[in-house]
């Protein structure tokens, strides 16, 4: 029996960076505040209101489309996607159907090119809270419409992804891109980036697509990866035991680490799309688009290629994945900091903690470290304190009297004193018990914590030789 090939297409919903909602002036800030406090006549779907698209959302969508090398048609329009569900009080969602904002792009993920089918704009839905639980059927649900009408970009890929790893890398690359161009914060845990993989499997060599399932409720890249692995395994088991895969939407249960059936898609849903009569079509100004194209910053893939000329791949994998880290690295290096030492510091000390300092300060800190003016531990302290207080590393070092003593003539006096004070350890070392050095170094550090350990150790070795 031939083995299986995994086929994944991704639908990613991204909340563009705006201050107000997609079609009304309700503020985006504080959506987790008490329910129904960020709503107005428009997002509540009152009769007779006129939705007007948010220019910043349109701009973010165009920038995203450009960064994904999409074509941006001259004409685009909004449509009503009709469905009856209380998370949207209008009875429809304003979305885009046959004339989306952009089509036919691609994103480079590692060595492969993933085709982008379309990027369009729509509005988010409200939040439903179901009373009751799994065992007790609820008799009512509660609706909070703070989220209703928040702008969303939907980025749809072709089914070009072939593994859970690749799907996760695609989502991560997309996040890096969105952040780099300033289109979205794209924080998955805040729901600003929601990845919904469409998964099917087929026999290797087959050209036909298998029956797919769509996964929802995925809140992290790790969950995305695990959910796909689980789902592929589930489909494989079904097909190998002669059962069929049912076309449906499945939710990812983070606690139980499994997917569960949410909604059958056996019959194509009929959303009765039709043009939104209340919003005039968009005729996108070519000059505006060109202006946005020119203003696009360097894209992550290009920047990574440039970083690879200076740094090993492992460091680039961390620094190149985050705009802030890459900016920090490049400013520090521009201030004269050595490339590899700076990169290592960022990978080990900044990336895990998220404690960003200015490139100028980092250059100063790396310089202090390289001169041997501070130990690594001290440098770490200085770093944290500088981030907290905003003072320069040199100021902090001076104030704490951190400055490391590396002067051999000064340390020689100290080393001699240590040997005099520990005659037994010194004798042990001379007679071949190398581990006696540890006791001598410990005493030395107790007497003078600021002593450069490397220089002091060399002096002890010389005196005992």
Partner 1 sequence: MLARLGLEPGDEEFYADQLSGILGHIDRLQQLDTEDIPPTAQVVAVASRLRDDEPRPCLSQEEALANAPAPVNGFFRVPAIQEET
Q: Residues interacting with partner 1, by CB under 8 A? A: 18-20, 24-29, 34-41, 44, 52-58, 77, 85-86, 128-132, 137-145, 260-264, 275, 277, 279-285
Least distance in Å: CB of 277 to partner 1?
7
DSSP classification of residue 341: H
**Minimum CB distance to partner 1 smaller for 147 or for 168:** 147
- Cβ–Cβ under 8 Å, residues 275 and 79: yes
In this structure, the number of other CB atoms found within 10 A of the CB of residue 295 comes to: 11
In three-state secondary structure terms, 154 is strand
Q: Alpha-carbon distance 369 to 355, whole Å?
A: 18
Least distance in Å: CB of 36 to partner 1?
5
Least distance in Å: CB of 238 to partner 1?
17
Please identify which residue in the block is written with the tokens 């005992």.
464
Q: Alpha-carbon distance 379 to 397, whole Å?
A: 9
Antiparallel, parallel or unpaired: β 4-14 and 92-95:
unpaired
**Minimum CB distance to partner 1 smaller for 61 or for 373:** 61
**Minimum CB distance to partner 1 smaller for 137 or for 446:** 137
Q: Tell me the backbone φ, ψ of residue 197, rounded to 5 degrees.
A: -80, 140
Rg (CA), the chain: 30
Least distance in Å: CB of 329 to partner 1?
32
**Minimum CB distance to partner 1 smaller for 52 or for 341:** 52
**Minimum CB distance to partner 1 smaller for 140 or for 189:** 140
End-to-end CA distance of the chain: 71
Q: Alpha-carbon distance 182 to 180, whole Å?
A: 5
Least distance in Å: CB of 128 to partner 1?
6
**Minimum CB distance to partner 1 smaller for 24 or for 343:** 24
Task: Report residue 314 as tokens.
Answer: 């492992």
**Minimum CB distance to partner 1 smaller for 43 or for 369:** 43
Q: Alpha-carbon distance 3 to 269, whole Å?
A: 32
Task: Report residue 424 as tokens.
Answer: 């037994």
- Cβ–Cβ under 8 Å, residues 393 and 438: no
Least distance in Å: CB of 142 to partner 1?
4
Q: Alpha-carbon distance 206 to 41, whole Å?
A: 52
**Minimum CB distance to partner 1 smaller for 123 or for 364:** 123
In three-state secondary structure terms, 432 is coil
Q: Which of 420, 418, 452 is nearest to 438 (CA)?
A: 418
**Minimum CB distance to partner 1 smaller for 9 or for 151:** 151
Task: Report residue 358 as tokens.
Answer: 């200015």
- Cβ–Cβ under 8 Å, residues 147 and 123: no
Please identify which residue in the block is written with the tokens 């009569």.
277
**Minimum CB distance to partner 1 smaller for 39 or for 116:** 39
| CA distances from residue 459 to 263, 422, 441, 443, 455 in whole angstroms, order as listed | 74, 16, 11, 14, 6
In three-state secondary structure terms, 168 is helix
**Minimum CB distance to partner 1 smaller for 255 or for 431:** 255
Q: Alpha-carbon distance 402 to 368, whole Å?
A: 11
Least distance in Å: CB of 77 to partner 1?
6
**Minimum CB distance to partner 1 smaller for 34 or for 432:** 34
Q: Alpha-carbon distance 51 to 262, whole Å?
A: 32
Least distance in Å: CB of 190 to partner 1?
19
Least distance in Å: CB of 299 to partner 1?
24
Least distance in Å: CB of 66 to partner 1?
18
In three-state secondary structure terms, 184 is coil
- Cβ–Cβ under 8 Å, residues 350 and 325: yes
Least distance in Å: CB of 78 to partner 1?
9
Least distance in Å: CB of 286 to partner 1?
12
């Amino acid at each position: 029996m031939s083995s299986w090939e995994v086929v994944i297409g991704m639908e990613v919903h991204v909340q563009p960076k705006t201050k107000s909602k997609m079609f009304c002036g309700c503020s985006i800030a504080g959506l987790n505040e008490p329910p129904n406090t960020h709503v107005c006549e428009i997002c509540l779907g009152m009769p007779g209101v006129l939705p007007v698209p948010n220019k910043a959302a349109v701009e973010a969508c165009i920038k995203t489309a450009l960064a994904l090398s999409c074509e941006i048609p001259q004409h685009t329009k909004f449509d009503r996607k009709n469905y009856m569900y209380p998370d949207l009080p209008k009875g429809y969602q304003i979305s885009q159907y046959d004339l989306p904002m952009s089509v036919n792009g691609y994103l480079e993920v590692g060595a492969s090119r993933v085709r982008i089918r379309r990027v369009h704009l729509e509005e988010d839905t409200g939040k439903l809270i179901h009373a009751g639980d799994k065992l007790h059927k609820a008799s009512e649900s509660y609706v909070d419409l703070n989220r209703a009408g928040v702008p969303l970009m939907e980025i749809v890929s072709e089914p070009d992804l072939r593994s859970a790893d690749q799907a996760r890398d695609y989502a991560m690359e997309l996040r890096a891109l969105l952040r780099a161009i300033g289109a979205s914060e794209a924080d998955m845990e805040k729901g600003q980036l929601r990845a919904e993989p469409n998964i099917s499997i087929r026999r290797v060599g087959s050209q036909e697509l298998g029956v797919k399932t769509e996964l929802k409720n995925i809140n992290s890249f790790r969950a995305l990866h695990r959910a796909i692995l689980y789902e592929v395994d589930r489909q494989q088991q079904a097909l190998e035991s002669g059962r069929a895969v049912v076309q449906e939407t499945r939710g990812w249960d983070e606690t139980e680490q499994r997917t569960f059936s949410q909604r059958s898609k056996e019959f194509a849903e009929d959303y009765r799309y039709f043009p939104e009569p209340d919003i005039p079509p968009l005729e996108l100004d070519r000059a505006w688009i060109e202006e946005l194209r020119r203003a696009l910053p360097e894209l992550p893939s290009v920047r990574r290629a440039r970083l690879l000329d200076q740094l090993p791949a492992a460091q680039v994998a961390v620094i190149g994945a985050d705009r802030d880290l890459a900016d920090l690295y490049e400013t520090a290096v521009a201030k004269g900091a050595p490339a590899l030492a700076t990169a290592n510091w960022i990978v080990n000390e900044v990336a895990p903690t998220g404690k960003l300092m200015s490139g100028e300060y980092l250059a100063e800190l790396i310089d202090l470290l390289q001169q041997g003016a501070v130990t690594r531990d001290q440098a770490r302290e200085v770093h944290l304190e500088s981030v907290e207080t905003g003072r320069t590393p040199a100021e902090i070092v001076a104030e704490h009297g951190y400055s490391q003593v590396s002067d051999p003539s000064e340390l020689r006096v100290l080393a001699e004193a240590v040997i005099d004070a520990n005659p037994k350890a010194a004798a042990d070392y001379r007679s071949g018990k190398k581990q006696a050095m540890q006791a001598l170094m410990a005493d030395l550090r107790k007497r003078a914590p600021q002593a450069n350990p490397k220089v002091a150790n060399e002096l002890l070795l010389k005196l005992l030789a």
